[in-house]
Every structure is written in C-alpha cells, then in structure tokens.
Structure 1
Amino acid sequence: MTTSDSWDMPLRTKLFVRALARSRGSDRLLVEDEIARSRAWFAPSRPPYTWVTGPVPAGVEIADTAFEARDRHRVEVRTYRPRDAEETALPALLWFHGGGWVVGNTRGYDPICGWLADRARVMVLNVDYRLAPEHRAPQAVHDCVDAARWAASEASGAGIRHTGLGLAGDSAGGNLAAVVAQVLRDGGGGEVAYEALVYPAVDATMSSESVALHAEAPILTRADMDAFLAHYLGDEQDALDLLDPLVSPIHATDLSGLPPTLVQTADLDPLRDEGAAYAVALRAAGVETRHTNYERVPHGFLSFPGATRVGRAAREELVAWVRDHAYDTRLG
C-alpha cells in the first residue's frame, strides 16, 4: 500500500498527513458511528491546532443564523463579519464546506471563513446544508440554492448587500458552488458576481487521469471517493445520473454566462484533472477564469496551511479573488 513517504511532499506535510492517517480508521466512511464522529469533530481554536489550521482573526465576529428552505426545514448558517464594519452592508460570500457531501461541519471552517471575512472585507455565510446518506442528492444542492436566494433577499437582513453574491467551497463544497452558479444562471433568484472553487469535485464519472494516478493519495483516495458518492447518490432507481449537471457540473450542456471563476487545484489530488478540465471548459465558453495548480500538496491543503509551503499563498490568492470581485465597481 502506498504511504505518505512515497509522495513528493515537504517533510512537514508528510508528517501531518501521516498523523492524520493514523487517527482515521479504514472503514471511517462506511460505519455510521464513524460518520457521526467525523461530523462532530473540528480543530480547537488554540495552539498547537492553530499552528496547522491558522487562527481565527480576532477582528472577526462569528454568529449563527438560519433560513427556511423550500421544504420548511431550518438550515443553519454560521456567519463571519469584520467587527469594525457593524454599520456597513457588506458583500456576501456563501461558503459550502467540503466532506464528500457526507461529513464535515461549519465550525471546522472557522479559520478559512474568518480569514476571508477579515482580509476580503466580506460577510461570509457558511451554510450547514443537509448531508448524506440521510439526505441524498440533490438535497444538498437544494439547500445551497435556497441559501443563495435567501442571501439575495431582504430576509437575510440589512447587514449584507443582496446583490453581487459570491459562491465558494472546497471539494464537495466546490461542487455545490459550481452547481448553484449554474442553477441561478438558469433559474434566477440571485445575482452571482463570482465563484471560487477549491479542489472541486465536478465530474462524478471519476474518469480523469489523476483519479487513477492518485488513487491512493494522502487525504483523499479513490476508495474514499467511491464511498462518498455511494452515500450521496444511493442505489435507488431514482438516483441522479452521474452525468446530471446537479451532480457533475462539468457535464452541463452550456457553461456560458457563468460568473468569473477561480479554480484552485492540488497536484497530488485525485480531483486535480477534473478541476483543471472545468477551468478549460469555462474559458472555452467565454467565462473569465483563473486556474492555479499548487504543487507538492494533497487534497485539502487549504485547511492545513501551516503544514505546507504553499497554503498561505493559496489563501492569499483566494482572498484577492474574493476582494477584487466583491468590490468590482461594475456592480454598482
């Protein structure tokens, strides 16, 4: 079996992924108790954890709110706002967390979302969408679309600007951000100014070369991807097809008219090539697109910048993209 020592990563990255692997069981995605444990865990906001994840900026206020989804379910939203902007209506950035549509939680993304709020001067809305296998596709999509339409309405309050929304997320959250952008383009209900897709899962066929090349990569393996997708889609007859754009946004028949898009990929990641292919497809459709592939890092590296050499640079690129497009003067 391939180990972290077999991959061309900086020593501190190897040590981190080795420790992470030891903390996980091989059946963690298949056993109900392990899924529940993974959903509940997040890194505490104190050293030595913050040496790896980065701290939550002291100048950011974190709060909780909620909205009512289309089925009247209450969807929780964790918010991040610069403390010195209390009287200002800030641009809104919706963040959809990663975890294969199965695990993950909003609190685990406090460092990233707090960083974005502080450095880009935006109001970050971190959406606690419903997870599989209890809630199969396209429930997560529906929750995230409803979140964007809520943010674009007066119902979300006076503290945010209801036009020119940003959409962002990592991994499965990057998938959701891409899907939401397509749904809002076609169905309306929210003006999207830009999106940022961090190592996004955009092709459920898993047919790209990097899936085979990095099938046993650190952090995310092909077996993980199979398990996640099985939970998300299920095996019922009415499960969404792998080519359905609600599952695989890269297979949409038309990508024109989508907002400016940043795609960040990790070189040692099974998802690398599909993220790159989506960037190419967006450019071919006339969409303003920036793609950066970060070398010598595995999937998930934005969440542990202290264990990499490029994590800080990737966060700076993300912040710059959000700030520049959230405050684009063409938005008025």
Structure 2
Amino acid sequence: MTVTDSWDMPLRTRLLVRALNRSRGSDRMLVPDEIARSRAWFAPTRIPYTWVTGPVPAGVEIAGTSFAARDGQSIEVRTYRPRGAPGDHLPALLWFHGGGWVLGNTRGYDPICAWLADRARVVVLNVDYRLAPEHRAPQAVHDCVDATRWAASGASDPTGAGWRGGSLGLAGDSAGGNLAAVVAQVIRDEGGADIAYQALVYPAVDATMSSESVALHAEAPILTRADMDAFLAHYLGDAEDALDPLDPLVSPLHAEHLGGLAPALVQTADLDPLRDEGAAYAAALRDAGVDTRHTNYPRVPHGFLSFPGATRVGVAAREELVRWVRDHAYDGGLR
C-alpha cells in the first residue's frame, strides 16, 4: 500500500493524487529551470482533462489587460466576462491564484474563473502578480493591492467593456487566499477601494506553521510540510530585511485586529496541512464581528477545488463559492 492509498479519500481522488505525485519532480522548487517549467504548465481545457478540472463555459469571453503597479511595472490580468453582458453593469471579482507565491499561472485557473464568471455573473480579474524567489514578500501583496485599487477605478478590458468600479470581491486559493486576506486588511487600513466580500479557499494565513494540522498532515497528498517550508523560504528569503513570519503581510491571522473586514467565506479541506489555520482565521474573524461562513470539506486534500471531477464534494464546494459571490456581489438583488 502506498502513502496515497493510506489516506481516507475516494478512489478517484487517490488515483489522481497518485498520478500527480508521479509527475512532479522532487526538485521542482529548488532548481530555477524546474520552477520555470512548473510555472508554465497548465491542464489543457479539453477532454479528458476537463473531466477532472471542469469545463470552461462557452458563454464566457476570456481576454487580457494590464495595469501599472506602483513601481511602474506592467502587471497582466486575465479577464473573464459573461458574453452579452452590457457595458459596465457587472461587478468585479479579483482572483489571486495559488502556488505558494512561487508557482502557478493565470491560464491554469481558466476553469474555475470562467465558471465563476458564468454562474455568478461577475467579471473575474485573474491577477498575474509577481512570484518568488525573484520577487520576495511583500511584492505579491503590493501587486494585488495595486490591482484592487486599479479595478476600483472602473478600468476597462480590451473589448472596451469595463465593470462596476464600486464594490469589489477578493478571492483566491492557498497562497492566493493568503493574498486576498492580506489585501482585505490593507485596503481596510489604507483605503483605495470598497471591498464587498472575500472568499478564501484553503488559505495559508499563518506562516509560523504551528497549527496541529501541519504536523498531522505533514505528508499529505498535494501539499506537504516540506513543500510549505520550501515555498516560505522562497517567499520570505533570508535577507536582513526579510519579513517576519508573524508579520500580518505574511500571516493575516496574526493581525492586531480583524474588525471591520468584509464578509468572508472560508473553505478548508480536511486532509490539508492548512486546515486548522483556515478554521482559526474564520473563528477569529467571527469573534471580531465579521460576517463569516466556514465550511470544512471531508475526505479531500489541498487543492481539491481545482479538480472537482476527481472528488465527491468539489462540485458542492464550487456551488457554495458561487452562491457566496453572487449573494454579495450585487446590491439590492440586482442581476
């Protein structure tokens, strides 16, 4: 019996995890060439891949745009808009992708971002923020804060159709969930946008890695403690001015106060090292008076929202995410 087989997952989930474990190299986060290859890969949006990732709805137009970050660097944004939606009628949702602040790309999130755009009737702005180790913390935070303020200005995509520049949503998975949580705190404190809601999908919110689930699931499928150590080593670095793991720009769970933040959905995976810190953040938000919903999904590992076809609960988790976005994106029930 393999390590994967020993986990309490449905057979189809175990088979996918086993295939993913075989395909990823042991030095994928140590050698620059391997990091580059990992960043560039994404599952094609065609059968049989979409049996696992979910299809990209035909009713969504995918395009691209960009904005200038605070240092003048042009940051690409992949946009998803329901076809036929009028002008600037739709609200916007900023999506920050996962990958430990080191890996990942916007193309790999076409299935979930297009699905959100189609089902929730929002314009999804998938931000290609800069990655470590070339760009250490807090560069990713700065890029995502700048993206949020740019979106709040009511910018436009290449088709000339913009989005409502008022209330915005923030969402992301894993490291992207970390960035969404951090951006919500920075915008609350410094202004520049009106945040209507946040959706944090198995977020990394405590860089001290001291929660019980980190030890319990140190050898978990998809994400291990060794992976987490490598990601944080790249993201924080070892320079004298490196951010402390307790800094709220890295660990939003350790912010001095959490009151006044936008309503939050927190989704966690039961077989995930990040499970307990996600649950702790949801509890801390609730204790601070923030409207918070937390759902822990059983028998699934980290990353499960990206492969709903290989789980029993992936579709339900996506439906919950869509309901949360749709219910909070519109004022007065406007559709």
Is TM > 0.5 for Structure 1 vs Structure 2? yes
SS at match of 1:262: strand
Distance in 2 between the 1:156 and 1:134 partners?
Answer: 29
Q: Equivalent residues in 2 for 1:1-332 (5 A)?
A: 3-156=3-156, 159-329=162-332
Distance in 2 between the 1:311 and 1:49 partners?
Answer: 15
**Per the alignment, do residues 2 and 288 of structure 1 end up closer, same or farther by CA in structure 2, a change over 3 Å counting?**
farther
TM-score by length of structure 2 reads 0.97
Distance in 2 between the 1:283 and 1:91 partners?
Answer: 26
SS at match of 1:294: strand
Give the CA deviation at 1:328.
3.4
Q: Identity over aligned residues, as a percent?
A: 84
Q: Deviations over 1:105-149 (max 9, x none)?
A: 000000000000000000000000000000000000000000000
Q: Deviations over 1:286-307 (max 9, x none)?
A: 0000000000000000000000
Distance in 1 between the 2:27 and 2:42 partners?
Answer: 20
Distance in 1 between the 2:168 and 2:204 partners?
Answer: 22
Give the CA deviation at 1:155.
3.7
Distance in 2 between the 1:322 and 1:28 partners?
Answer: 34
Give the CA deviation at 1:89.
2.0
CA contact (8 A) 2:144 2:179 kept: yes
CA contact (8 A) 2:87 2:163 kept: no
Distance in 2 between the 1:156 and 1:240 partners?
Answer: 34
CA contact (8 A) 2:154 2:164 kept: no
Give the CA deviation at 1:25.
1.3
Give the CA deviation at 1:27.
1.7
Q: Aligned residues, how many? A: 332
CA contact (8 A) 1:217 1:269 kept: yes
TM superposition outliers: structure 1 runs of 4+ over 6 Å? none
CA contact (8 A) 1:86 1:159 kept: no
Distance in 2 between the 1:159 and 1:151 partners?
Answer: 9
Distance in 2 between the 1:90 and 1:154 partners?
Answer: 11
Q: Deviations over 1:46-74 (max 9, x none)?
A: 01100000010000000000000000000
**Stretches of structure 1 lacking an aligned partner (at least 5 in a row):** none
Q: Deviations over 1:256-287 (max 9, x none)?
A: 00000000000000000000000000000000
Give the CA deviation at 1:2.
6.6
Distance in 2 between the 1:295 and 1:96 partners?
Answer: 24
Distance in 1 between the 2:191 and 2:156 partners?
Answer: 17
Distance in 1 between the 2:124 and 2:181 partners?
Answer: 17
Distance in 2 between the 1:110 and 1:281 partners?
Answer: 32
AA aligned opposite 1:191: D
Give the CA deviation at 1:213.
0.1
CA contact (8 A) 1:203 1:247 kept: yes
CA contact (8 A) 2:168 2:194 kept: yes
Give the CA deviation at 1:210.
0.1
Give the CA deviation at 1:26.
1.4
Give the CA deviation at 1:32.
1.1
Distance in 2 between the 1:47 and 1:185 partners?
Answer: 43
